[in-house]
Structure 1
């Protein structure tokens, strides 16, 4: 699928690409539902970002023994050595460098609402967070699978596997408007192919292309303040303190006393528990930013899908290939 190369359509020297890669969208039906037939049947919207290039070939990420990443490694060590520290409830912390040209870096993101902001309309910001950061594709596959569990009040429950919703290329870029600088997350879909139906994509505001301003939440600021609590949901109160990211000093220092920072560098997103806001900017990237994201053109063959090659049949592909609910 490539890395989302861009073509400038007008002189716009104040746009600088920081990172480019592949973007995948998934949805999961509500608990005990085998299928989804509308947005009302959807429980969660997930985004997976896989950076493939940027200002440098290495990215700074959380230490491999922190967060869910550390919990999964600890479980493996327990199976081998009989020792299993409990790390799954904590956020990402520490530091490690990863060469993204030699091994995958995967961000598993959960959106607080079961849709993206409508990129063609002005609305309140939508909140999301990095649920998992990993270099292991199997970890993402596990997160997309269905789950069986028991509860004290409702007995046995079942969540269906996630469905593959969209696949494309993305960029995180810095935009200087002359008055201030902010960062954008922009993307363009390759799947579903042009001409196919797109009912689930339209219902969840996953347009063929879109631009969002992305702001990183300062984990040291209280999440209970009214401005952030009402960002996309009147009930949002942020992650619990233990689950919040603990950024290295040079990243945390960028906030100062501010509640939000630009996603500059994108390394902020390499820590589990990183909270962010997406603000609708445009559904026409060329008109807004003077550049066009280039994909590999019109695709229709499932064998061309990087999502399916990477994650296999873990997630049903009918929404991805045909644009239909399942």
Structure 2
């Protein structure tokens, strides 16, 4: 149903919207488990960000594989994978993100930051569908293994924004869920800290510096183009400004709990386009990726 809209409830506004779009949450049961019945049964938690508008309609991302083959040695100013421009108002741009702790930080209380990374950036819906599907495979030590398909567990709208509080600017990732509806149960969402709405500070990790978390090994870290890498200087972390940082595979970041009441914290109200209908046919997640696994977690708020 689209990116929704936002309403500033303070004058003057304390925030500047950098990016608007849709956000989808998924979890995958542990290997050889067909279903999950608690967070102990979860192997991975994923977030998919689909930007649809922002301060600029064009974002720069790393090139996709077939394009890289045509240009094996991109200039260092373009990053380690070359660069590609995407008009997010006309074309799909999908960021497939892995949360390291298999949950979000609890936005209702102060807690340690949680680490995540961008595993895939693509303009092709099929690439994300492939990343979500299950598979059968064999290993030398454990024999035959079964990996179940990822389950959709939340859908909503999001914003990445600058927040000016005092002298220092920082960036937030905020979202509001559209599915499941408030009338449904909330079992997997509660276990994974997927609240109905939430605000997190988001900080991008400098791939050339050691962080407070172990993170990805050096070969898997993002190689940012010069104009993005230069913003770090000698700092270990930088605000997600611009959000283009997230358009590079291997980009590592921290999410830090801020609030479960966006309007109270930031003076911004997110308005969904499906608040009154709440019909499954309105789900952009299902219309985009199809029903590759049970939708009970998304539509009914129960473990599957």
Match of 1:63 in 2: 63
Q: In the TM superposition, what whole-angstrom CA distance separates every residue of 1:100-130 from its partner, at most 9, and x where no partner exists?
A: 1221000000000111000001011000000
Conserved 8 A contact 2:80-2:225: no
Q: Secondary structure at the match of 1:116?
A: coil
Unpaired runs of 5+ residues, structure 1, are 65-69, 78-82, 86-90, 230-236
Q: In the TM superposition, what whole-angstrom CA distance separates every residue of 1:233-253 from its partner, at most 9, and x where no partner exists?
A: xxxx11111111110100000
Q: Secondary structure at the match of 2:59?
A: strand
Q: In the TM superposition, what whole-angstrom CA distance separates every residue of 1:123-146 from its partner, at most 9, and x where no partner exists?
A: 110000000000000000000000
Q: Secondary structure at the match of 1:45?
A: strand
Q: Does residue 1:191 correspond to 2:210, yes or no?
A: no
Label 1:171 to 1:261 Cα distance change in 2 as closer, same or farther (>3 A).
same
Q: In the TM superposition, what whole-angstrom CA distance separates every residue of 1:58-97 from its partner, at most 9, and x where no partner exists?
A: 1010122xxxxx1xx48xx9xxxxx9x9xxxxx9632111
Q: Structure 1 runs of 4+ off > 4 angstroms?
A: none
How far has the Cα of 1:4 moved from its partner?
A: 3.1
TM-align CA RMSD: 1.7
How far has the Cα of 1:152 moved from its partner?
A: 1.4
Q: Does residue 1:139 correspond to 2:127, yes or no?
A: yes
Q: How does 1:217-256 map to 2 (within 5 A)?
A: 217-223=205-211, 228-229=212-213, 237-256=214-233
Label 1:92 to 1:206 Cα distance change in 2 as closer, same or farther (>3 A).
farther
Conserved 8 A contact 1:193-1:299: no
Q: How does 1:150-169 map to 2 (within 5 A)?
A: 150-169=138-157
Q: Secondary structure at the match of 1:7?
A: strand
What is the aligned counterpart of 1:119 among 107, 126, 133? 107
Match of 2:75 in 1: none
Q: In the TM superposition, what whole-angstrom CA distance separates every residue of 1:147-179 from its partner, at most 9, and x where no partner exists?
A: 211111111111100000000000000001122
Conserved 8 A contact 1:191-1:299: no
TM-score normalised to structure 1 length: 0.88
Q: Does residue 1:308 correspond to 2:276, yes or no?
A: no
Mapped partners of 1:49, 1:316: distance in 2: 21
Mapped partners of 2:86, 2:108: distance in 1: 36
Mapped partners of 1:12, 1:37: distance in 2: 46
Match of 1:265 in 2: 242
Q: Secondary structure at the match of 2:40?
A: helix
Q: Secondary structure at the match of 2:20?
A: strand
Label 1:216 to 1:94 Cα distance change in 2 as closer, same or farther (>3 A).
same
Q: How many residues align?
A: 296
Match of 1:298 in 2: 276
Q: In the TM superposition, what whole-angstrom CA distance separates every residue of 1:21-76 from its partner, at most 9, and x where no partner exists?
A: 00000000000001011111111110000000001111010122xxxxx1xx48xx
How far has the Cα of 1:5 moved from its partner?
A: 1.2
Q: Secondary structure at the match of 2:219?
A: helix
Conserved 8 A contact 1:319-1:325: yes
Mapped partners of 2:281, 2:132: distance in 1: 21
